[in-house]
Amino acid sequence: MTKLFGTDGVRGTANIHPMTAEMALRIGAAVGRYFRRDMDSAHRVVIGKDTRLSGYMFENALTAGLTSTGMNVLLLGPVPTPAVGLLTRSMRADLGVMISASHNPAHDNGIKFFGPDGYKLSDKVEQEIEALVEQGVDTTAPDEIGRAKRIDDSRYRYIERVKSSFPRQMRLDGLKVVIDCAHGAAYHVAPMALWELGATVIPVGVAPNGFNINDGCGSTQPKAAAEAVVAHGADVGICLDGDADRVILIDENGRIGDGDQFMALMAARWASEDRLNGKALVATVMSNLGLERFLNERGVSLERTAVGDRYVVERMRAGGFNLGGEQSGHIVMTDHATTGDGLMAGMQFLAEMVRSEKPASELLYQFDPVPQLLKNVRFSDGQTPLEDADVQAAIAQAEADLAQGGRLLIRKSGTEPLVRVMAEHEDAALMERVVDSVVDAVNVAVGS
């Protein structure tokens, strides 16, 4: 069996291996057996999903697999990924499951897992579960089959938790906010939470139909939200992705920021108030060199990890840090949540607008980024272009060319069959030439 778990659970095209109902049933049974090792006590699991049509299929298949091993299932319905992490812990569940392919298009889907502490599972645990999927597990006795129950108020529990992270003495009266929910999991909770805090809310992407998630909207395609900000004279735009664990912010002029700028703002603010644990920010290898320089000038270090918010969180927990994230918009604040939470991060930005009485355009641009270029090359199953001698030679030459004042990052995507080639350098022309040389070598290796 090919490797199931990527950088963020299991993901793929719905109804094509590994994202089939049969495989979801097997995964449910394996993870149920793993978390129900002591067969004498009752165990429970919470399952959330986004708005993809295939979510119904996977919800039912996972429920069948889990209950077949004696797990009691609590169905949350459409909720953000961070809500699953929160409710897994608050409902004393042994396991949390989120059915979502995050920012991917509607025909994809995925399965993410959270442990009883509300944090995503480690690589080691995922490998053990994958071994159980491959070998198969014994089902439980007929009188020990689990039950399934739908939890009707899950979204309201999450709204209250998100609001509790907002400073109690503050309100959003007078602020006009565009909120783009990507026709995804936050289509109900995000506008409601902002409205309850007093904001004038302009919703975008809040009419899911099973097929339109992330389609021309959301954090990966924020143009519609930026246009809405300008058209309505809004103060700020908040763009979430399909499962609402990442955010992209837009200023009042329609200019789009990124996660690095937001992390710079929060890290500098928290450091000045002595709230930044370890005087460090945790981010991935994709974060801009400009962020690192900005932080160092303020006595804050940047801890880099592999790409994936799970690795950011693991480093934060190991080092006792409380702020981290990704350039793509995953923002993790462990004082408030166990995983990236786009809505919560957006609210922290709104709180900073209220506190400072500054416009979004001033807060969202903390440093001048070093020019950065990212290009992707698609390859076919079974191909290993990064092992090709000519590709390795091109990479070595590129690293030498960028050695002074820049950097090169080559990696395989954890969610798609892509080689990602990224470079940074003050000399944009040199940077582009270097990236193209590596991309050309990879294209030759894969036969493009």
The catalytic site residues sit at 102
DSSP 286-307: TS-HHHHHHHHHTT-EEEEE-S
Could you give the CA distance from residue 68 to residue 319 in angstroms, rounded to a whole number? 39
Amino acid at the residue 346: G
Could you give the CA distance from residue 400 to residue 414 in angstroms, rounded to a whole number? 27
Neighbours of 405 (CB within 10 A): 12
Q: Is the bond into 371 cis (omega within 30 degrees of 0)?
A: no
Could you give the CA distance from residue 153 to residue 157 in angstroms, rounded to a whole number? 6
φ and ψ at 36, to 5 degrees? Answer: -120, 60
Residue environment code for 76-106, b if the CB has 16+ CB neighbours within 10 A, otherwise e: bbbbbbbbbbbbbbebebbbbbbbbbbbbeb
Question: Which helix (DSSP H) or strand (DSSP E) does residue 316 occupy?
Answer: helix 309-319
